[in-house]
């Protein structure tokens, strides 16, 4: 389990995030995407081995911006009442890619700051940006886009009550799958959350897409 997305923190912070992650894993089975993190911190490791933190997204959207570039955004927002004030967790992830696939699919290289993520909870607030990676996108007949991603991201820690001591944030490997529907308005709201940390997020009351398959989708270049 990644116990502190900032690479540091106190035992209280680590315990709270353990409970939050457990709530996310048991909060529901229907999701249009999954996001997983593995810490690549060079001076710390979770004994006895490296563990993975997994989030299930409730929303995932795609749209094209004014320059004609493909944008994809996904978000997880969970409020687990049994955890009280520690039960609210928000995670957003946004990619700004190149032009949409000309055919049925395309693999995109992700460079510095082409992807952003934001994490918010009662004990931690954190933003991350991409260093390098890849996103594979497949266009389906119904207009949805499915795919998978693998991106190295570096956190930009923010001061909280649990991070008064200097932190040494390490790099993370972020990977997962998605199934996105077209919706620029809701996608831009998630993008704003990822960039600014603003919690003015879209409603989760409307249905979006079906869960992604556990089997990997073969991507075709375009």
What CATH number does the domain containing 112 carry? 2.40.128
Residue 146 inside a domain? The answer is yes
Residue 100 inside a domain? The answer is yes
Residue 100 has pLDDT above 80, yes or no: yes
Count of domains forming the chain: 1
Residue 202 inside a domain? The answer is no
| pLDDT on residue 84 | 66
pTM confidence score: 0.70
Q: What is the pLDDT of residues 139-171, one digit of tens each?
A: 999 999 999 999 999 887 564 544 433 455 578
Residue 209 inside a domain? The answer is no
What 3 state SS string does the chain have?
Answer: CCCCCCCCCCHHHHHHHHHHHHHHHHCCCCCCEEEEEEECCCCCCCCCCCCCEEEEECEEEEEECCCCCEEEEEEEEEECHHHHHHHEEEEEEEEECCCCCCCCEEEEEECCCCEEEEEEECCCEEEEEEEEEEEEEEECCCCCEEEEEEEEEEEEECCCCCCCCCCCCCCEEEEEEEEEEECHHHHHHHHHHHHHCCCCCCCCCCCCCCCCCCCCCCCCCC
| pLDDT on residue 108 | 96
More confident call, 108 vs 13: 108
Residue 16 inside a domain? The answer is yes
Residue 204 inside a domain? The answer is no
Residue 99 inside a domain? The answer is yes
- Confidence band (pLDDT; 50, 70, 90) for 51? confident
Residue 211 inside a domain? The answer is no
| pLDDT on residue 75 | 92
Domain limits for position 192 = 11-196
| pLDDT on residue 151 | 94
């Amino acid at each position: 389990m990644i116990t502190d997305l900032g690479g540091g923190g106190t035992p209280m912070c680590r315990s709270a995030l353990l409970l939050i992650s457990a709530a996310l894993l048991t909060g529901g089975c229907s999701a249009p995407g999954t996001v997983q993190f593995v810490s690549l911190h060079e001076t710390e490791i979770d004994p006895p081995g490296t563990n993975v933190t997994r989030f299930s997204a409730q929303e995932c959207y795609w749209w094209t911006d004014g320059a004609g570039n493909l944008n994809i955004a996904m978000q997880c927002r969970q409020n687990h009442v049994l955890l009280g004030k520690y039960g609210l967790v928000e995670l957003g992830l946004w990619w700004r890619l190149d032009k949409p696939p000309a055919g049925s699919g395309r693999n995109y290289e992700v460079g510095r700051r082409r992807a952003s993520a934001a994490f918010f909870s009662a004990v931690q607030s954190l933003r991350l940006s991409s260093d390098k990676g890849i996103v594979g996108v497949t266009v389906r007949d119904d207009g949805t886009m499915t795919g998978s991603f693998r991106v190295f991201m570096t956190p930009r820690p923010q001061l909280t009550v649990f991070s008064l001591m200097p932190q040494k944030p390490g790099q993370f490997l972020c990977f997962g799958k998605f199934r996105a529907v077209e919706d620029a308005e809701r996608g831009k709201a998630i993008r704003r959350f990822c960039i600014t940390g603003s919690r003015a997020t879209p409603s989760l009351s409307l249905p979006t897409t079906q869960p992604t398959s556990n089997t990997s989708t073969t991507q075709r270049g375009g």
